[in-house]
Chain A
């Protein structure tokens, strides 16, 4: 029996010819990412060195990335003080992959890492954020860890006690119909797998519909794999991966490109034909409560949110702008747009999308995570309903336990903003 791509990546990271699902390994880390929760990582890191007589020094500053995105600019003094503490640590330790609150380098960590070439195929990537799964889109084994675990990574350069996960293979066939997007595919899959269906497992994406999908679409699939409980999602690197890394992320040097063995052993195999797929919506209050848009058509929404680490990339903004151009956001509905990075913001500005949004009545915010998890701007009032292109609709997620959040693609979100109610973009005019 051959190896899955993650078994191969982990084997390489422990310098062994092969490892198998179920084994426990201590892989070397290729990239370790944190955001504002680096404040807690620093606290735990210093704790490790307490009373040891050793100087607290990170194992390799070039393999650590820190991006401010969760509460930018700071919403209060506590965050501002944490951010100040992180800046001092970054300077002291010589961490260069630090993205501060700046228009020329800022954005959401899960876009900053890919677009700056910090993620390479075949490597182990860890992040103190559950959506670190995103980076599997570039063929890395990328997963979320807690702050204390990250402190341990900073000290040792390895992740302790990683159980080699089993892998679910998903084969995606067919062509996406008009207004059906990668978000609809991943919502459909989460509905099928359930919120815990892929717990402690990896989802490997294959098939012709993946081959022809852009990296930004693949990032959507891998980003939300965690919503089925997956340790990570991953797309074996191919020509599109190389195109993205060379022309967008400006990565130079040799790339280590490999996929799974043809006879790899999978936990299960799922097939999906996207030609039959409809726009999907995840209904309150779990991400696996997924229905075709027709089932919830007409539900009134007071807020529409387009953006986030899931759907704040240029493709997503383009899909929304095409629908909104020359139209107007319904009275009684607020629409918020937050691009995934300033680079994307600049591209959208140049292409006229930002102007289309503003003319339609949307509020364009700075790149960041705030509205998605209710930590900073865009909170909901009691009894209000939101439709968002973000990744979670848990009770209380958008800052209010007495509100409801639906999740959808940017196309569904844009069409719904015009109507003020959940709308099928394929029938937007009606």
Chain B
């Protein structure tokens, strides 16, 4: 079970997730402090560790549009948040997979802040309303990166001249 801690609309840009003025900060160990920095209330709750790992951000269409800045994925990963959205912008989506940020494509999702969700591989169940919504499975190639434990491990295996096990088929 996971609680919805933030509900957002369509076209949430990487400038909202991680404002450009903090881009000089690059290391995944340092970016979490600026997650949703312009939303002082939510950023404050994150920094005070009031939001447990596994909590969910629910968004509309095109979440993560705009810049390629990987900080937008690492800042959310740092708090171990999951994002359930109707769909995602391409670069953000790939960055999330590469870093192991949990992103769930759920075109029909209906959920509000404070509600509880159960996220399974094929559907998201809103435990508060009792409704469930189908999840679009990840393309196999992307799933292989997640199964390997992220892109760094995946590429390391390749550099060592091996085929990442889960990339077969």
Contacts and interface: CB of A to CB of B under 8 A. Distances in A.
B160 interface: yes
Interface in B25-52: 25-27, 38
Interface stretch (B10-18, B111-119, B121-129): B10-18
Interface in A99-132: 127-130, 132
A25 to B, nearest CB: 9
A374 B19 contact: yes
Contacts of B62: 195-196, 199, 229
A196 B105 CA distance: 15
A415 B144 CA distance: 53
Contacts of B95: 146, 148-149
Contact of A199 (B25, B89, B142): B89
A44 interface: yes
Interface residues of A, number: 57
A121 B128 CA distance: 54
A146 B96 CA distance: 9
B44 to A, nearest CB: 15
Nearest to B39: A401
A156 interface: yes
B130 interface: no
Q: Chain B interface: which size bin?
A: 35 or more
Contacts of B99: 148
A47 interface: yes
B7 interface: no
A396 B152 contact: no
B159 A54 contact: yes
B145 to A, nearest CB: 7
Contacts of A24: 139-141
Given A146-B98, A231-B90, A156 B145 contact: no
A375 B141 contact: no
Contacts of B24: 36, 71, 75-76, 78-79, 82, 375
Contacts of A144: 68, 91
Nearest to A372: B20
Task: Pick the 6 closest A-B CB pairs, nearest first.
Answer: A146-B95, A373-B20, A161-B141, A196-B62, A40-B26, A394-B13
Interface of A: 24, 36-37, 39-40, 43-44, 47-50, 52, 54, 70-71, 75-76, 78-79, 82, 127-130, 132, 144-149, 151-152, 155-156, 160-161, 163, 195-196, 199-200, 229, 231, 286, 288, 373-375, 379, 392, 394-397, 399, 401
Given A151-B155, A375-B23, A401-B19, 18 more contacts: A24-B139, A37-B69, A43-B27, A48-B152, A54-B159, A54-B160, A71-B24, A130-B67, A145-B94, A147-B26, A148-B150, A160-B155, A161-B141, A161-B144, A163-B139, A195-B11, A195-B65, A196-B65
